[in-house]
A and B are shown apart, each in its own frame.
Chain A
Amino acid sequence: MNKDLILIVGNGISGSTAAREIRKRCDRPILMISEECEYFFSRPALMYVYMGHLKWAHTQPYPDTFWKDNDIALKKTRVEAIDFEAQRISCSDGAYIEYTDLVLALGSVSNKLGWPGQDAEGVTGLYHKSDLEALERFTISARQAVIVGGGLIGIELAEMLLSRGIEVHFLVREASFWDRVLPQPESAIINDTIRRHGVHLHLLTGLQEIVTDCHRRAIGVITDKGEKIAAQIVGLTVGVSPHIAWLKATTLAISHGILIDEYLRTNLPHVYAIGDCAELKTPPLWRRPIEAVWYSGKIMGETVAHTLTGKPKKYLPGHWYNSAKFFDIEYQIYGQISVSIPNSEKQFFWSSTDNTKTLRIAYNDDDGRFIGVCSLGIRWRQEYFHRALHQQLSVEEVIAHLAEANFDPEFYHRYESDIFHRFRQKHTTL
C-alpha cells in the first residue's frame, strides 16, 4: 500500500470532513473505508428518504465524482481487525492495508438493553443505512408500530412511520418527552405535538418484552405496566453507544468510547479517534465526554485534519449548540440551559400566547451574565448568541438587541418586543 497513507475508518460526517480537510492542506494519500455504504451520506436525512421527501442520492452531500476528483480513495469493506503494532488493518475482503496514520471514525450502534425478542424480525433501531432498508422491508406488512425511547431518534421514527399510514405507539420511560434536556414547559409542548399528530404517547412506560410469532417475527410488545400492544414494527431508540465492542481486546485504551486527549489522539501513536466513537478524557467545560452529535463530529473532523497536516490543534468545539425538529416544531439551543436550575443561575422563560413558541434564557444570578438560550418555533441567528457568549454580555443586553438575532422568514410575526417587555416586567423589582 501507499507510503504515508492516512487511513480513515468510517465515512460519516466526522470521517468525511477529516478527509476533505486533510486534502485541503496536503497531498498525502488518503483512504476512507466504510462498511455501511460507498459514499458519505447525511445520517439525519435518513428519515426523509423513508418519508419520500428525498431519494437516496439526495442525501449525499457531494457528487460521486468529488472523491476521485480530490484523490480521496474509497473502499467499501468491513475492517475485521487492526494490528496497531504493525500499523495494519485486515478487511473482510481479505485485504491487508498498512497505514501511517489511522483515524477511527467508527460511529455508533443503537442500544439494545437485553429485552426478550430484541433481535426478532421487525425490530430495528434507526442509525445505519441498513436500518432504513430493514424498515422499508418491515413496512410492507405493518399496520402498527411501537417505538421505545423518548429521544430525538424516537420522535423522528414516529413521524416517519406516521407518514406511511402506520399507527404508532410511543413508549417514553420518563414523565415527559426528552425531559432530561428539555425543561418542563417545552417538553409539555412537544408531548402535545406528538399527540396532535396522532401518535399514542405512553409516558412513564418502558418495554418489558417483545412478543414474537413462531417465525421469530415481532407481533407486539408488553410494556412494563403489563399492557399488550400489537405491533409489526418495534423501533428501539434508547440512545446509541460507540461502535467499539470489536476493539475491546486490543491495546487501544477504551472506556465507553475510544479515549482521546484534547488533540483527539488515542493512547497509541498515530491513532486518532473522532466523532461518535470518541470519548474525551477531559472534556471542555459544560461538554460531555461523548457527544454523538452531527456538529461535534464535523468540528472533530476539521480539528484532526490540522493535527495530521503538521499543525497540531486542540479540539475546541466552542459554545455548545444543537438543533432538532419535533414534527413541525424547530428547536435550537445555544450555550447552556439546565433542566434543574442551580442556585447560582436564573432563567427567564417566555412563551407566545398560543403556546407554540418559546424562548428560555439562562443567566448568572450574581452578575447577570448570559449563559444560554433555547427556543421552540422561532429561528435564531447562531452568530448573535455566539458573540453574546463570547463577549460575556449581560442578559439585559442580549434581550435588548434580540431583534438582531431573529432568523425567521420575512413577514413572520416578531416577538422580540413582547419578550423585552415581559422581561422588564419581571425584573423591575431587581
Chain B
Amino acid sequence: MSSQKHPSLSLADSSAIGLNIGQKIGAILGMSGIATLLIAGLNNSIAHSPIVLMYSILALLLGILLYARSSYLHLPAGVQNNGVFTSSLTHRGLWAWIIGLFLTGFYVLLNGYPHLLGLGDATQPNTGLVALFDPLSILLNGKPASQWFVYGSLYTIAILGMGYKFILKYRHNKYQIIRTLSVMFFQFCFAFLLPELLSKLNPEIAYFNKDIKNMWPLNYYFFENWHLTNLLSSGLLGKLFLGIGLSLIFVISPLLTYFYGKRWYCAWVCGCGGLAETAGDPFRHLSDKTTRAWKLERWLIHSVLLFIILVTISVILSFIYENPTTSPLSALGFKLLVAGLLLGIVAMVFIFKRKEMARDGLIGIAVATVVILALLAFIYDSKGSILGLDTWQLRSWYGFMIGACFSGVIGVGFYPLLGSRVWCRFGCPMAAVLGFQQRIFSRFRITTNSGQCISCGNCSTYCEMGIDVRAYAQRGDNIVRSSCVGCGICATVCPRGVLKLENGAVKDRFRVEDIYPAPKNKIKPPSA
C-alpha cells in the first residue's frame, strides 16, 4: 500500500473524468492527420506533397498509438469494458452517428463519385485526396493512385493502428494478441504491399487480383471473363495465381476449416474480418441478438451465396461460349461438373449429417439445389444469360448491391450503429461457405466447462456475430455454429472461465455434459 500513494486518484482521472493528457495529445495528433487528408481532399494545392502525405499517415498512426497506450497501459491487464454501454461513441450516441455518417458518405463517394475525391482520367491528372496519394502509389506500383489505392491505404492504416490498440486492450490474452498480429500481417503484406509490388515488377501484364487470400466467392469477379482472360494472358504469374485461387477454394480452405474451423480465415486472415476485429472492436456488442435477426441472417446470407453461385455459373458459361478454344471445358462438361459437385455435396449431407441439421436447413439446401439444377438444365441460354438477363447485368447487380452497398456502405459504414460484423454475418458468401463446412465437418467447437456458467450474459453481449452463447453455456452444451468466426472474445470476457475454443474429434463436438439436462428451445412437453 505504501508503494502507491494515491493510486485510486489516478484511476479516477482516467476512467471517470474525461481524457488523460496522453489521450488528449493522441487525439489531437490523429485529428491533425485526418484534417490534413480533408484539406487535400478540398483540393488545396499546398497540401499535395509527399511530405504532407507522410505527415498525415504518420500523424494518424502515431495518434492512434499514443491514444491506445494512454488508454490501457496504466490500467492492470484484463477485460476493459467499463462504460461501453454508457459512452456516446460505443452506444449509438451522437459520436456514433457522426462517425457512421462520415464513413457511409466516404463509401458512397468511393463507389459512386470517385471524381469528387479527385480521381483523374486519361486527359486530366488526379487532384484532391487521390492526388495526395500519388507519390506513394508511384513508389509502390509505378502508377498514379486510384481511389481504391487511397481506400486500401487508409484501410491498412486502420487495421495496423487499431490492431495495435486491440493488442494493448487484450494484452492479457495471448490468443487475441497472436490472432491480431496475423490479421495485421495479412492485411499489410498480402492485401496491400505484395499486390502493388507485383504490379510494379510486371508493368506489362493486365490487372488481376493479386491478393491471394481474397478468394472466390468473397472475390466475386474471380471467374469473370475479363479476370480469367487477364489471368490466362499474364504468363506464369497469371497461371500461378489462377492455380492458387482454385486450390484455395477447393482444397486448402476446406482442409483448414476442417482442422481449425472457419476462424482460420474469418478471424485470422480475411481483410473484412481484420477491419471488423480491429477498428470494429469498440462496436462488437451492438450486434443484434434477437431471434428475428437470427432468422434474417440464415436466409439472407444463404441467398447471397445462391446469388453469387448463379452469377458465377453465368459468367463462366459466357466465358466458355466466347472462348471455345482456350477454355478447358465445354459448356456441357462444365454444367455436368457443377451438377455433379453440387449433388455430391448435398447427397453427403443428407446421408451422413441429416440428424445434425435442422429441418428448415435441409429444406433450404434441397430448394437451392433444385433451383441451381433447374437453371443449369433449362434456363441458362447460349450466352450464359438467365431469362434474358445477360451476364454483364447480373454481375453488375451483384457488384453494386452486394459488393458496394452491402459489404461497404452497410458493412463498414454502419459499424457504430449495427456492430462490426454485419457484412460477415448477413452477407458474406465466403462466410456462408466456410460456415457450412464448419457446421458439417469441422473439428472446431467452443467447449463449455460443465456446470460453471453463471448466466451473466457477457459472452452473448460481446459476440460480434450475434450468437446467444449463454444459451448454450448455461445448459453445459458445446457451441457448434456455422456463423461463429472464432474470435475468442466470448472466452475472453467470461468471468468464470467457462468457454474454450478447441479443435478435437468431430464426433465428440456436440457432446453435452450430463451435469445439466439436454437443450430444448421450447421446453414444453407434448400435452398428455
Is A92 interfacial (CB-CB < 8 Å)? no
Among B244-296, those with CB < 8 Å from A are 290-291
Binds B, one of A42-50, A228-236, A275-283, A395-403: A42-50
For B11, the chain A residues whose CB sits under 8 A away are: 162, 165, 197-198
Partner of A70, one of B15, B522, B527: B522
Q: With A195-B4, A298-B451 in contact, is A27–B175 under 8 Å at CB?
A: no
Is A338 interfacial (CB-CB < 8 Å)? no
Rounded to whole angstroms, the CA-CA distance of A311 and B457 in the bound complex is 32
Least CB distance, B518 to chain A, in whole angstroms:
9
Least CB distance, A182 to chain B, in whole angstroms:
17
For A198, the chain B residues whose CB sits under 8 A away are: 4, 7-11
Is A26 interfacial (CB-CB < 8 Å)? yes
For B520, the chain A residues whose CB sits under 8 A away are: 24
**A379 pairs with B449, CB closer than 8 A:** yes
Task: Give the A interface residue count (CB, 8 A).
Answer: 66
Among A363-383, those with CB < 8 Å from B are 379-383
Is A186 interfacial (CB-CB < 8 Å)? no
1/0 per residue, CB under 8 A from B, across A376-411: the answer is 000111110010000000000000000000011111
Q: With A330-B495, A382-B449, A382-B450 in contact, is A54–B458 under 8 Å at CB?
A: yes
Is B358 interfacial (CB-CB < 8 Å)? no
Least CB distance, A291 to chain B, in whole angstroms:
14
Binds B, one of A118-126, A218-226, A237-245, A319-327: A319-327
Rounded to whole angstroms, the CA-CA distance of A164 and B87 in the bound complex is 13
**B450 pairs with A386, CB closer than 8 A:** yes
For B174, the chain A residues whose CB sits under 8 A away are: 409-413
For B79, the chain A residues whose CB sits under 8 A away are: 53, 328
**B525 pairs with A26, CB closer than 8 A:** yes
Is A23 interfacial (CB-CB < 8 Å)? yes
1/0 per residue, CB under 8 A from B, across A50-69: the answer is 01111100111101000001
Rounded to whole angstroms, the CA-CA distance of A58 and B406 in the bound complex is 28
For residue B84, which residue of chain A has the nearest CB? A52
**A59 pairs with B456, CB closer than 8 A:** yes
Rounded to whole angstroms, the CA-CA distance of A163 and B1 in the bound complex is 19
Among B475-517, those with CB < 8 Å from A are 488, 491-493, 495-497, 500-502, 513, 516-517
For B81, the chain A residues whose CB sits under 8 A away are: 51-53
Partner of B15, one of A55, A165, A409: A165
For A70, the chain B residues whose CB sits under 8 A away are: 522-524
Least CB distance, B289 to chain A, in whole angstroms:
9
Least CB distance, A8 to chain B, in whole angstroms:
15
**A411 pairs with B175, CB closer than 8 A:** yes
Rounded to whole angstroms, the CA-CA distance of A61 and B473 in the bound complex is 11
Rounded to whole angstroms, the CA-CA distance of A20 and B525 in the bound complex is 11
**A197 pairs with B175, CB closer than 8 A:** no
Among B189-232, those with CB < 8 Å from A are none
**A63 pairs with B450, CB closer than 8 A:** no
For B522, the chain A residues whose CB sits under 8 A away are: 69-70
Q: With A200-B8, A409-B173 in contact, is A325–B450 under 8 Å at CB?
A: no
**A381 pairs with B449, CB closer than 8 A:** yes
Rounded to whole angstroms, the CA-CA distance of A307 and B474 in the bound complex is 22
**B457 pairs with A58, CB closer than 8 A:** yes
- Indicate the member of A58, A60, A383, A408 with the most B CB atoms within 10 Å: A58
Partner of A52, one of B83, B172, B460, B491: B83
**A13 pairs with B517, CB closer than 8 A:** no
**A162 pairs with B8, CB closer than 8 A:** yes
**B528 pairs with A167, CB closer than 8 A:** no
Rounded to whole angstroms, the CA-CA distance of A196 and B10 in the bound complex is 12
Least CB distance, B153 to chain A, in whole angstroms:
31
Rounded to whole angstroms, the CA-CA distance of A85 and B150 in the bound complex is 80
**B451 pairs with A69, CB closer than 8 A:** no
Among B73-119, those with CB < 8 Å from A are 76-79, 81-87
Among B380-430, those with CB < 8 Å from A are none
Is B370 interfacial (CB-CB < 8 Å)? no
**B523 pairs with A45, CB closer than 8 A:** no
For residue A20, which residue of chain B has the nearest CB? B523
Q: With A53-B84, A198-B11 in contact, is A410–B449 under 8 Å at CB?
A: no
Is B377 interfacial (CB-CB < 8 Å)? no
Is A294 interfacial (CB-CB < 8 Å)? yes
**A328 pairs with B474, CB closer than 8 A:** no
Is B348 interfacial (CB-CB < 8 Å)? no
Q: With A162-B11, A379-B449 in contact, is A48–B523 under 8 Å at CB?
A: no
For residue A413, which residue of chain B has the nearest CB? B174
For residue A323, which residue of chain B has the nearest CB? B496
For A44, the chain B residues whose CB sits under 8 A away are: 454, 456, 495
Is B470 interfacial (CB-CB < 8 Å)? yes
Rounded to whole angstroms, the CA-CA distance of A328 and B172 in the bound complex is 9
Is A201 interfacial (CB-CB < 8 Å)? yes
**A165 pairs with B16, CB closer than 8 A:** yes
Interface residue SS majority, chain B: loop
Is B369 interfacial (CB-CB < 8 Å)? no
Rounded to whole angstroms, the CA-CA distance of A298 and B451 in the bound complex is 9
* Number of CB contacts from chain A to chain B under 8 A: 180
**A164 pairs with B15, CB closer than 8 A:** yes
- Indicate the member of B17, B79, B496, B524 with the most A CB atoms within 10 Å: B496
Partner of B291, one of A24, A63, A410: A63
Is A168 interfacial (CB-CB < 8 Å)? yes
For A26, the chain B residues whose CB sits under 8 A away are: 525
Is B178 interfacial (CB-CB < 8 Å)? yes
Rounded to whole angstroms, the CA-CA distance of A302 and B527 in the bound complex is 21
Is A108 interfacial (CB-CB < 8 Å)? no
For B524, the chain A residues whose CB sits under 8 A away are: 23, 27, 69-71
Is B12 interfacial (CB-CB < 8 Å)? yes
**A58 pairs with B517, CB closer than 8 A:** no
Is B330 interfacial (CB-CB < 8 Å)? no
Is A21 interfacial (CB-CB < 8 Å)? yes
Rounded to whole angstroms, the CA-CA distance of A316 and B495 in the bound complex is 26
- Indicate the member of B8, B17, B500, B517 with the most A CB atoms within 10 Å: B8
For A42, the chain B residues whose CB sits under 8 A away are: 454-457
For B82, the chain A residues whose CB sits under 8 A away are: 51-53, 163
For residue B87, which residue of chain A has the nearest CB? A52
**A165 pairs with B496, CB closer than 8 A:** no
Among A121-170, those with CB < 8 Å from B are 162-168
Rounded to whole angstroms, the CA-CA distance of A294 and B4 in the bound complex is 36
Least CB distance, B10 to chain A, in whole angstroms:
7
Least CB distance, B450 to chain A, in whole angstroms:
4
Rounded to whole angstroms, the CA-CA distance of A59 and B474 in the bound complex is 13
**B12 pairs with A411, CB closer than 8 A:** no
**B78 pairs with A45, CB closer than 8 A:** no
Is B44 interfacial (CB-CB < 8 Å)? no
Rounded to whole angstroms, the CA-CA distance of A407 and B452 in the bound complex is 12
Q: With A20-B523, A58-B461, A162-B11 in contact, is A411–B178 under 8 Å at CB?
A: yes
**A321 pairs with B77, CB closer than 8 A:** no
Is A82 interfacial (CB-CB < 8 Å)? no
For B523, the chain A residues whose CB sits under 8 A away are: 20, 23-24, 70
For B458, the chain A residues whose CB sits under 8 A away are: 45, 48, 53-54, 58
Rounded to whole angstroms, the CA-CA distance of A44 and B461 in the bound complex is 15
Rounded to whole angstroms, the CA-CA distance of A23 and B83 in the bound complex is 38
**A327 pairs with B78, CB closer than 8 A:** yes
For B451, the chain A residues whose CB sits under 8 A away are: 295, 298-299, 321, 382
- Indicate the member of B456, B492, B525 with the most A CB atoms within 10 Å: B456
**B457 pairs with A167, CB closer than 8 A:** no
Q: Can you pick out 12 interface pairs between chain A and chain B where the beta carbons lie within 8 Å of each other? A: A24-B520, A51-B82, A52-B83, A52-B84, A63-B291, A165-B17, A195-B1, A198-B11, A321-B451, A381-B450, A407-B497, A409-B174
Top 5 A-B pairs ranked by shortest CB distance? A165-B16, A328-B78, A198-B7, A379-B497, A45-B456
Given contacts A330-B496, A413-B174, 14 further A-B contacts (CB under 8 A): A45-B455, A52-B86, A59-B457, A61-B470, A61-B471, A195-B1, A198-B4, A198-B9, A200-B1, A295-B451, A325-B496, A379-B449, A382-B449, A407-B500
